[in-house]
Structure 1
Amino acid sequence: MDELNNDPAAETAEVETTETTDVADKATPDAEVEKWKALSRKWEDRAKNSAKELDEIKRASLTDAERALEDAKAAAKAEALAEFGGKLAEAELRTQAARAGVELPDSISRFVNVSALLDDSGQPNAAAISEFVSTLAPVTPAFPNVGVGPQNNGGGGVPQLTYDDIRRMSPYEIDKARVEGRLNALLGLQ
């Protein structure tokens, strides 16, 4: 019966279905991850919309007293978030900065509008905070370890001497320091 049906649109649809199946079979793991992320976001959006609709239905069925109580609760929550949201955002900012090796000044709230780091619900926006912290330079030590001198304990825990130390030493003291391993960094023995 298929032989009698010479519909070119049906043949094209069949070919396209076969091609998309072949492409889907060859999908890379990254494409697969992105596909599932997109589907997850889609379902999250649907869940949020459904929750909003449910809240609207519940609100419509409340009595005036219940509605006033709900309004008071919402106002109290908004006030608490307004009062403590900035402190929460600053705490999250300090946490992420410490993880990234960035040092923040004690009065960061004077320099940064921490309320801009809050999401619509008044909670700290981790993505915005992370983005901000990534723009800051990590702390570098004031005196970097260059491999010689007292900061280098490469000689088995023995402090190493510098050229300036040797200039002030007698030949006997220099030989003694060599035997003790305090010249290993200068001699390239590490």
Structure 2
Amino acid sequence: MNSNASVPTSDESAALLAEIDKWKSLSRTNEKRWHAASAELDAAREEHAARGEEAAEQVRAEARKAMLAEMGPRLVEAEIKAQAAQAEIEIADLRFMDFNQFLTPEGTVNVELVGELIESRNTKPLYSQNLGLGRQGPSYTIPALHSSRALDARYR
């Protein structure tokens, strides 16, 4: 049997060890590159997700603003009617009222301002209506005016 074929010489073993070290070094380099690329990919994904969330939040805010711009006057009208009903007053015509003046800058109903409107419409008389205004009804009778005889017979 040939003993030279199975046992490497010192030059061959040095070359094999050098080849092993070379591949280990390349493997470590590739692993470092893979980790760097993975970190870069994760950072890009996070940035993309953050931008997507930011864009979604912006779309939500714009949709809310548009909805409040459209529905705000109707909400104000409903609030006016509700507060008027609670105060037991009747508001006859709301067609010519600018409901936008009752909206806050955020687009919500300014309930305090609506309350001021209702209070201004809920006017009570300044003076009591049953004092000092003269005769208010038949509290006394004049006998000559309320006679059962005919008028021509009274003066004969």
- TM-score, normalised by the number of residues in structure 2: 0.46
- TM-score, normalised by the number of residues in structure 1: 0.38
